[in-house]
Structure 1
């Protein structure tokens, strides 16, 4: 049997034409089958058999032409689109390489178990771009540029010192900005909206010249079980995941390359302006104040900040084995803190770390009574608000997580997470969580 990649010529135009033909043929064969939830096992096997060789061809095409594709859709790396914009441009310029806008819109409306798995094609695309130091470096810098929404809201924040973004609130107190996660009905479980609002808030804090440090804390909850009590985060909203409302590009990959990279490394400001030199990263120290618990993505946030204050009865966990997906950069960053053995206990075995556990000293810097969490976080932010802190936190980050190491990990994560998102065991797990009513 001839390999589906054997006919690649190495010439971009010719290979793009071949990919377009093979992808169109695959789409026709899959479209002729019943919708995914109505397929028999044999029909699903036929869909998989149609998709597999085309995905192999896409992978080979990207290995040959990934940098040329990226240069084409970014005008020689002069444009800086975010993930979704970049993928849309690639779909228009190279049909069949990644899903086009209409196919994505149709898929986004479906429950997770009914999706065809278009995120896998995005995962392949971004894996290749991130693996290349040239395209990967450009992509990572682009994702750390301030969002248009934040730039639009900055004058209002500068004038009033307050913003209500929906699921996140921001308030300036002197030189400290307090960012409050306020997805109160579901224990600050992470959704597309929360990820977007939180990135906007982080951008505004970093852009405001009068702010020197930021504090992240959960609001008081309206959820019946924790009504009136502050909660940091319950992790990813599994109901939304089951319903197909967790975006791969906007949340699962975009959160890591955008929001959390900005918290850790700051905004990228190397736009060619002479005013930007020599400081191409606009970064500020961050303090996290943890009430009750920081689960999943909540704990991942703690791995990106500079100082953590925890309530004495709080706990931390990364239940990756329970949820079935990859916990963002948790494997990378927790290993740097814990070493391999304890990281395996937390991520593979589901070990919960209580704030009073000696191991918690590797996650939190202070453990205080519940009524002292806010004050302790404010004092820590004031202490970190120093130019010397800013430059040294950057040097620490370079030593702890060099950019090329992060980029290489992100490349593998991009595909691994896309595959997990559509795996049978994850679909089964999130379905059970939805039936049980678990928020995140």
Structure 2
């Protein structure tokens, strides 16, 4: 694609987006629009989105190369969309547009994140641009790099919603959002990614463990809980974003659990990433996003009274990369029962063997965990898990899935059924 071609297309895109913006500015706030005004707004947005989609279909690699100085800059998702807004007017929402939407309830937003989904779908579809973006998201976060010396020295870190402690070469990550049963929001995603980075970067850590802490919720007071999934109260309030939560979660810490952290080290020539084995311990339940996590762990231990569920159809959203992984792990029939039908799988069921490696009484979990950590600390575990992950989920397949996920999840966030369901959950104290 020549520079003149891109320059002309950039100008046409800005003009098309500007027409839509003019129409929206002339209308009342989204929550105050009449039925006719809502139709006018939807028509204007659709026209601009057709233009954005066509533009990115034709110019995705040229756009990405300009934003990243021909892939010499490793821009994470927030930095990438911010750079795109500045360099290509009308392609993605501006900071001002996002700020205006951020102050609105989910049901009252303009839905600018759909435009980010269009942009990121095209970037991830490109083998050249998408692969570079996936690698950029595997880089350690600046926050983790800043905390690493202290964690390496003391073996402890308090990251607000996650506590860390290194004991005998095992990094114990404890999710401690007792106010919401470890239902995830953007704060927790940031804290978990930081914790995962620290565990991977600290040479004294051989194995990582993720477990839920004790709750203060009246129904679960004093009991450990793994995760209640996405925080639906935060979703209704408009505080669950496409870039900062849904995509960062998948391309950030979950990808690092699988592929490791991308950092220069002595053996970069044969292993570009630093990866380590991970164990999940499920107390109580792993709902939604909690169940998604289990699909990337090397060993899953569950309490005998625990259960797993992925209520995606009921919530109306796409359950991360579970659609990619669950069929492979559990088979297509069970995957459809869980994702489409909302089936709850108890740890003691025969079908749970596809999702859980060991089941133990709650009082025995610590001892079972200690034995599992000792087994996974062997030197041959890391290269073998690397080869298993390569065979089970090649990066190209993951990239193609995430490209479509970027747009489909954005559309789901602003669908009528999701907005209605999120509103019904708003008054609850937890994510369920």
TM-score by length of 2: 0.98
Alignment counterpart, residue 220 of structure 2, candidates 219, 226, 230: 226
| TM superposition shift of 1:436 | 4.8
Secondary structure of the corresponding residue to residue 117 of structure 1 = coil
Change in Cα spacing, 1:349 to 1:322, as seen in structure 2 (3 Å) is same
| Alignment-derived partner of residue 407 in structure 1 | 399
Please give the alpha-carbon distance, in whole angstroms, between the structure 1 residues aligned to 2:421 and 2:171: 38
Secondary structure of the corresponding residue to residue 209 of structure 1 = coil
Of residues 396-405 and 374-383 in structure 1, the stretch that sits farther from structure 2 once superposed is 374-383
| TM superposition shift of 1:375 | 2.4
Tell whether the 8 Å contact from 2:233 to 2:428 is kept in structure 1 after alignment.
no
| Alignment-derived partner of residue 275 in structure 2 | 283
Secondary structure of the corresponding residue to residue 78 of structure 1 = coil
Secondary structure of the corresponding residue to residue 276 of structure 1 = coil
How do residues 179-328 of structure 1 correspond to structure 2 at under 5 angstroms? Answer: 179-269=173-263, 276-328=268-320
| TM superposition shift of 1:387 | 2.4
| Alignment-derived partner of residue 95 in structure 1 | 89
Please give the alpha-carbon distance, in whole angstroms, between the structure 1 residues aligned to 2:379 and 2:235: 41
| Alignment-derived partner of residue 80 in structure 1 | 74
Tell whether the 8 Å contact from 2:189 to 2:249 is kept in structure 1 after alignment.
yes
| TM superposition shift of 1:438 | 4.7
| Alignment-derived partner of residue 384 in structure 2 | 392
| Alignment-derived partner of residue 37 in structure 1 | 31
| TM superposition shift of 1:250 | 1.2
TM-score by length of 1: 0.96
| TM superposition shift of 1:105 | 1.5
Please give the alpha-carbon distance, in whole angstroms, between the structure 1 residues aligned to 2:166 and 2:9: 54
Please give the alpha-carbon distance, in whole angstroms, between the structure 2 residues aligned to 1:339 and 1:204: 34
Q: Which runs of 5+ in 2 are unaligned?
A: none
Secondary structure of the corresponding residue to residue 226 of structure 1 = coil
Please give the alpha-carbon distance, in whole angstroms, between the structure 1 residues aligned to 2:166 and 2:141: 20
| TM superposition shift of 1:439 | 2.3
Tell whether the 8 Å contact from 2:180 to 2:429 is kept in structure 1 after alignment.
no
Please give the alpha-carbon distance, in whole angstroms, between the structure 2 residues aligned to 1:264 and 1:205: 13
| Alignment-derived partner of residue 331 in structure 1 | 323
Tell whether the 8 Å contact from 1:290 to 1:373 is kept in structure 2 after alignment.
no
Alignment counterpart, residue 148 of structure 2, candidates 147, 154, 159: 154
Tell whether the 8 Å contact from 2:179 to 2:429 is kept in structure 1 after alignment.
no
| Alignment-derived partner of residue 22 in structure 1 | 16
Question: What RMSD, in angstroms, separates the aligned Cα atoms of the two structures?
Answer: 1.4
| Alignment-derived partner of residue 367 in structure 1 | 359
**C-alpha deviations, 1:315-334, integer Å up to 9, x for none?**
00000011110000011110
**C-alpha deviations, 1:22-80, integer Å up to 9, x for none?**
11111110111111111111111000111111100100100111101100010110000
| TM superposition shift of 1:275 | 5.3
Of residues 277-286 and 99-108 in structure 1, the stretch that sits farther from structure 2 once superposed is 99-108
Please give the alpha-carbon distance, in whole angstroms, between the structure 2 residues aligned to 1:290 and 1:274: 35
Q: Which runs of 5+ in 1 are unaligned?
A: 1-8
Matched, 1:63 2:57: yes
| TM superposition shift of 1:378 | 2.4
**C-alpha deviations, 1:289-337, integer Å up to 9, x for none?**
0000000000111011100010000000000011110000011110111
Of residues 374-383 and 249-258 in structure 1, the stretch that sits farther from structure 2 once superposed is 374-383
Tell whether the 8 Å contact from 1:325 to 1:421 is kept in structure 2 after alignment.
yes
Alignment counterpart, residue 106 of structure 2, candidates 106, 112, 125: 112
Alignment counterpart, residue 48 of structure 2, candidates 47, 54, 58: 54
Please give the alpha-carbon distance, in whole angstroms, between the structure 1 residues aligned to 2:266 and 2:206: 23
| Alignment-derived partner of residue 377 in structure 1 | 369
| TM superposition shift of 1:340 | 1.4
| TM superposition shift of 1:94 | 0.5
Please give the alpha-carbon distance, in whole angstroms, between the structure 2 residues aligned to 1:427 and 1:405: 31
| TM superposition shift of 1:10 | 8.0
Secondary structure of the corresponding residue to residue 245 of structure 1 = coil
Please give the alpha-carbon distance, in whole angstroms, between the structure 2 residues aligned to 1:274 and 1:67: 32
Tell whether the 8 Å contact from 1:215 to 1:378 is kept in structure 2 after alignment.
no
Q: Which runs of 4+ in 1 moved over 4 A?
A: none
| TM superposition shift of 1:274 | 7.0
Please give the alpha-carbon distance, in whole angstroms, between the structure 2 residues aligned to 1:353 and 1:189: 19
Please give the alpha-carbon distance, in whole angstroms, between the structure 2 residues aligned to 1:371 and 1:116: 50
